[in-house]
């Protein structure tokens, strides 16, 4: 009796025949796929000054010289091309300007020739878009309904928003790395109106949508959502700093009651964890280093660099006995500005690198209030003071740059008042500063010792070839650009 194939066997044989025919057709007919861009890692993303290169991934190995020739960015964004395998990287050579939408286009590019006789195929045209973050800054209001409150001014969108409620008086704040939140200290207005300050730590959303490459930032949150981070029940908060990556907060506190009243202590609050005492860590002014894992603190006759991970009771990572204060860090952590207090009552501003080089940039009888690295670490933007020649000791502030290669100081702008703060835009397009007009004990606070009745905010453009005259942008104190 003849055996008949099982129905499943017949289906399997039919599928094998069809697949064999398809494979034969592909082999005999050649490769019909078209070269194309498979992925653009900045597509529809928001990028900031820390984003220095985008990547185009192709489905074929391309004629890279042709890709480089035909790759266009609108508006132009200077950079250099490199490639590996089927991936091309475009590395920016200038800081990306904020508040700008960019288009990346690639047309009429051929794949790499596979053999001397093979005709290379032209890739499918590609167009991608991305944008830089909005040009925006935050300040503490001083007039009317803004008094004592955090205010966001978005220059790109021409929008202004009050972020904090009227019953809180803000004393200090620091933006998170993507500008979507702000960490701030504030005292209840009922207490602050009596001249006392007992702040708590909070965060507030800015309403800006952080959509950086390689990170899921979640849904957009509206502006003004407040969350308490640290209370003031047992300790008074004196000062705080936020890590560059937003991963931890370091707080200086003093107990309100107990066996050791008045003893200042340092604590760290890592994200998602409870607050931790930094045992045996004593000192004065402090700042979290750019690596977000170490702390620079004034101790005795110098600066100590202490670990914030592992055992903080270990010996300092480094001790710099020469300096009394750290002013700023380069964003990559390769250099810092530090202040030396000289025996003749002058002050010296030093550039200190991770290679151990220490270069004196400036020696002054006045003060060095602020020093900020430009994105490419070529210039230092400074808020300085000079002392007059009269019998009365008077400090006059001014804005200046210092060339880090030549140590040459260039004065940008003379300022009339001593009570001034300054900040550099992340793309180095402008300086933002305030100017207190009058002092009054019943007005909004700059800090816990100084007050202002009103204060103007100014922007000084820094674009090459453009106007370098400051212009007023309203009233407020302690303005800071969002990163």
Within 10 Å of residue 377's Cβ, how many Cβ atoms? 15
Query: How far does Cα 373 stand from its chain's mean position?
Result: 12
Residues 6+ apart with CB under 8 A from 63: 109, 110, 111, 112, 113, 120
Q: For the chain (length 483 residues), average pLDDT per consecutive 10? A: 59 67 53 84 96 96 93 96 95 96 94 80 95 98 95 97 97 96 96 89 96 85 96 94 97 81 87 91 88 91 87 67 93 94 95 93 95 96 90 87 96 85 96 79 44 81 76 96 97
**Cα gap 215→51, rounded to integer Å:** 12
Cis upstream peptide for 286 (omega within 30°): no
**Cα gap 119→128, rounded to integer Å:** 27
**Which residue is it, tokens 């991608």?**
128
pTM of the model: 0.87
**Cα gap 65→83, rounded to integer Å:** 10
Pick from 118, 123, 175: nearest CA to 150: 175
**Which residue is it, tokens 């005999």?**
28
Q: Residue 151 in contact with residue 140, Cβ under 8 Å?
A: yes
Residues 6+ apart with CB under 8 A from 376: 94, 95
Q: Residue 148 in contact with residue 452, Cβ under 8 Å?
A: no
Pick from 181, 180, 191: nearest CA to 148: 191
**Which residue is it, tokens 């300040």?**
139
Q: Residue 306 in contact with residue 318, Cβ under 8 Å?
A: no
Within 10 Å of residue 234's Cβ, how many Cβ atoms? 10
Q: How many CA atoms lie within 13 A of 355 on its CB side?
A: 2
Give the 3-state secondary structure of the chain. Answer: CCCCCCHHHHHHHHHHHHHHHHHHHHHHHCCCCCCCEEEECCCCCEECCCCCEEEEEECCCECHHHHHHHCEEECCCCEEEEEECCEEEEEECCCCCCCCEEEEEECCCEECCCCCCCCCCECCCEEEEEEECCCEEEEEECCHHHECCEEEEECCCCEEEECCCCCEEEEEEEECCCCCEEEEEEEEHHHHCCCCCCCEEEEEECCCCCCCCCCCCCCCCCCCCEEEEECCCCEEEEEEEECCCCCEEEEEEEECCCCCCCCCEEEEEECCCCCEECCCCCCCCEEECCCCCEEEEEECCEEEEEECCCCCCCCCCEEECCCCEEEEECCCCCEEEEEEECCCCCEEEEEEECCCCEEEEEEECCCEEEEEECCCCCEEEEEEEEECCCCCCCEEEEEEEEECCCCCEEEEEECCCCCCCEEECCCCCEEEEEEEEECCCCCCECCCCCECCEEEEEEEECCCCCCCCCEEEEECEEEEECC
* Residue-level pLDDT at 172: 96
Residues 6+ apart with CB under 8 A from 147: 141, 443, 444
Residue 152 CB burial class (10 angstroms; 0-12, 13-18, ≥19): buried
**Cα gap 264→284, rounded to integer Å:** 9
Q: Read off the tokens for 113.
A: 């020739």
Q: Read off the tokens for 73.
A: 């960015």
**Cα gap 321→366, rounded to integer Å:** 22
Exposure b/e, 414-452, CB count within 10 A at least 16 = b = ebeeebbbbbbbbbbbbbbbbbbeeeeeebbbbeeeebb
Q: Residue 189 in contact with residue 169, Cβ under 8 Å?
A: yes
């Amino acid at each position: 009796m003849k055996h008949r194939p099982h129905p499943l066997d017949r289906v399997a044989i039919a599928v094998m025949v069809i697949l064999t025919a398809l494979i034969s057709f592909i082999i005999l007919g050649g490769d019909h796929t078209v070269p194309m861009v498979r992925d653009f890692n900045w597509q529809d993303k928001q990028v900031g000054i820390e984003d220095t290169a985008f990547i185009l991934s192709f489905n074929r190995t391309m004629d890279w010289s042709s890709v480089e020739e035909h790759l266009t960015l609108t508006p132009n964004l200077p950079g250099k091309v490199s490639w590996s395998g089927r991936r091309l990287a475009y590395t920016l050579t200038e800081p990306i300007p904020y508040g700008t939408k960019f288009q990346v286009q690639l047309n009429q590019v051929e794949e790499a020739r596979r053999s001397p006789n093979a005709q290379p195929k032209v890739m499918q045209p590609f167009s991608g878009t991305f944008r830089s973050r909005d040009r925006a800054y935050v300040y503490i209001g001083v007039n009317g309904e803004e008094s004592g409150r955090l205010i966001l001014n978005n220059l790109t969108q021409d929008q202004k928003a009050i972020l904090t409620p009227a019953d809180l008086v803000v004393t200090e704040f620091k933006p998170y790395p993507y500008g979507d939140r702000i960490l701030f200290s504030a005292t209840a207005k009922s207490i602050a109106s009596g001249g006392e300050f007992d702040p708590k730590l909070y965060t507030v959303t800015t309403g800006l949508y952080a959509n950086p490459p390689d990170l899921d930032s979640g849904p957009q949150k509206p502006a003004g959502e407040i969350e308490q981070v640290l209370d003031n029940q047992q300790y008074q908060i004196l000062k705080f700093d936020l890590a560059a990556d937003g991963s931890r907060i370091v707080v200086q506190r003093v107990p309100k009651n107990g066996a050791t009243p008045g003893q200042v202590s340092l604590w760290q609050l890592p994200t998602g964890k409870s607050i931790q005492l930094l045992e045996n860590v004593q000192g004065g002014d402090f700042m979290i280093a750019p690596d977000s894992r170490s702390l620079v603190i004034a101790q005795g006759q110098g600066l100590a660099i202490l670990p914030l991970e592992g055992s903080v009771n270990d010996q300092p990572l480094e001790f710099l006995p020469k300096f009394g204060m750290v002013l700023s860090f380069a964003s990559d952590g390769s250099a810092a500005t530090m202040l030396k207090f000289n025996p003749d009552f002058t002050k010296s501003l030093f550039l200190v690198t991770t290679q151990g080089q220490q270069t004196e940039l400036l020696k002054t009888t006045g003060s060095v209030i602020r020093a900020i690295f430009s994105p490419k670490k070529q210039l230092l933007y400074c808020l300085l003071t000079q002392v007059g020649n009269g019998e009365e000791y008077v400090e006059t502030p001014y804005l200046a740059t210092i060339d880090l290669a030549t140590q040459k100081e260039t004065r940008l702008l003379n300022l009339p008042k001593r009570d001034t703060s300054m900040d550099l835009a992340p793309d180095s397009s402008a300086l933002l500063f305030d100017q207190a007009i009058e002092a009054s004990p019943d007005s909004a606070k700059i800090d816990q010792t100084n007050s202002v009745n009103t204060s103007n905010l100014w922007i000084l453009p820094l674009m090459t070839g453009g106007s370098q005259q400051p212009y007023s942008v309203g009233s407020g104190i302690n303005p800071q650009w969002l990163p």
